[in-house]
Amino acid sequence: MSQHNISTVAHLIAEPVRAVILITLADNCARAASALAEVAGVTAQTASSHLAKLLDGGLLKVEAKGRHRYYTLAGPHVARVLESLASVGPVSQAWRTAPNSSARELRFARCCYDHLAGQIGVAVTRGMIEHAYLVQRDEYAYELTPRGKSWLQKLGADASEPFADRVEHANRCLDWTERQYHIAGALGAYLMNVFRSNGWMTRFHKTRALTVTPAGWEALRQQLGIERNDELDAQAKFDTLPLTKYRDTA
């Protein structure tokens, strides 16, 4: 990558309004320009100008549906850049103990483009490794084991999916709030889809945050040994019980 490309992309991301737009779209959901203008706190005309620059810079793509145009990130590579940038520098104790409920919710569990991130994302990754469903292949990737494929089948997932036979089906993504790795790539996306389709996790309206359902807590305990503990506090507003911590049941 040339120095020019790096500086161009960095300039696009650095502008505060554009940064908000990109982060808002990091859940892989399409949004209209009006919705992005609202979340960024700018006029429709200003948002349109920023969106045009992000499109020209290759960070966004747009799809027309009737009279409306809907914007998404250009791909998971853009989400990885945003997550990587967010992970640069220390996470202060102020962030970890933030009284803001939105911050706690995002730290607990969130969509990182198309895969699960946050404390629960890290716990799921650790659980899969401890149960020998997943191994670290190299610095950048995990690999699903034969035992892991069998486990996916028990969850109702189709382990014959093409991603299971691809070399890079499970990227290691550094979680910017936890400073530990969670699963990205095709396997990460597939897992989140399975968790949501099984009713174990639901998404907060118009946010990246996810919540674990009662059935999800039981499934996480049985499948991966993730037990409730008050270290994870993001769901306190929904559940008066202590939340979770990873526990190995193997």
Output DSSP code: residue 100.
Answer: -
- Does residue 5 sit in helix, strand or coil? helix
**Rounded-to-integer distance, Cα 220 and Cα 210, Å:** 15
Q: What is the pLDDT of residue 170?
A: 92
Three-point CA angle 5, 6, 9, nearest 5°: 85
pLDDT at 3: 55
pLDDT of residue 158: 59
For residue 245, what pLDDT is reported?
38
Instruction: Give pLDDT, residue 33.
Output: 94
Domains parsed from the chain with CATH numbers: 3-74 (1.10.10.10), 81-246 (no CATH)
The H or E element containing residue 41 is none
Per the rule left: phi > 0, alpha: psi between -120 and 50, beta: everything else, 105 is: alpha
The parts of the chain modelled with pLDDT lower than 70 are 1-4, 89-102, 157-168, 205-206, 230-250
Question: How far is the C-alpha of 71 from the C-alpha of 106, rounded, in Å?
Answer: 22
Rounded Cα gap, residues 107 and 101, in angstroms: 10
Burial 197-231 (b: 16+ CB within 10 A, else e): eeebbebbeeebbbbbbeebbebbeebbbbbbeee
Residues 6+ apart with CB under 8 A from 127: 220, 223, 224, 225, 226, 246, 248
pLDDT for residue 168? 65
Whole-angstrom Cα distance, residue 148 to residue 181? 18
pLDDT reported for residue 176: 83
